[in-house]
Amino acid sequence: MVRLRAVGEHGREDKNTSKTFCINDNIDVLIEILKRLDDKSIGVAACVCRLWCALTRNDALWEHLCFRQLSPPPEGVRTVVAALGGYRRLYTVCVKPVLTRLRKMKSGGEMWTRHEVELSLSLFCVDYYERLFLAGGGGGGGRIAGDAPPSSLMFLCKAVNV
């Protein structure tokens, strides 16, 4: 049953004048906020609603996360990373494990210089290439167990006792 309330019109007008701010209507602000989060928080944010989930999948966000501390940010890397799986994958597979390991090694100081970037990118390439091998089947004669995931970077996933 629909009730037409004359008051409703007024109510809406009131709403217009009171300027409520809904973050979902201001996506650029939302993105700016998300850019400043760490990876866990981004993961949590992705669970909020579909819009937020879609936004967190945006690779630019992860690019920012990968190279946040690096200034100037490396050039020429974007096309390569995008081609090999995107910054989100780079972060999960390489950047995060490398950072975690190094954080345990060095107590303070600069942690994320271009050397770490280069190393992460090299490892990322190795990972992609190995998956290529698996995708192509055992025809290259490279592996015994064809279903095993590429383990070249598995050492990064193992627990470190420093």
Q: Which residues bind other proteins (CB under 8 A)?
A: 74-77, 79-80, 83-84, 97-98, 101-102, 105, 115-116, 118-119, 121-122, 124-126, 128-129, 132-133, 136, 139-145, 151-152, 154-156, 158-162
Which CB, 13 or 118, lies closer to other proteins?
118
Which CB, 35 or 128, lies closer to other proteins?
128
- Give CA separation, 148 vs 97, 144, 156, in Å: 21, 9, 16
Please, what is the minimum distance in Å from the beta carbon of residue 114 to other proteins?
9
Strands (E), 11-77: none
Instruction: Copy the structure tokens of residue 73.
Output: 């940010």
Please, what is the minimum distance in Å from the beta carbon of residue 31 to other proteins?
26
Cis peptide before 72, with omega less than 30 degrees from 0?
yes
Please, what is the minimum distance in Å from the beta carbon of residue 142 to other proteins?
5
- Residue closest to 118 by CA, chosen among 80, 152, 159, 65: 80
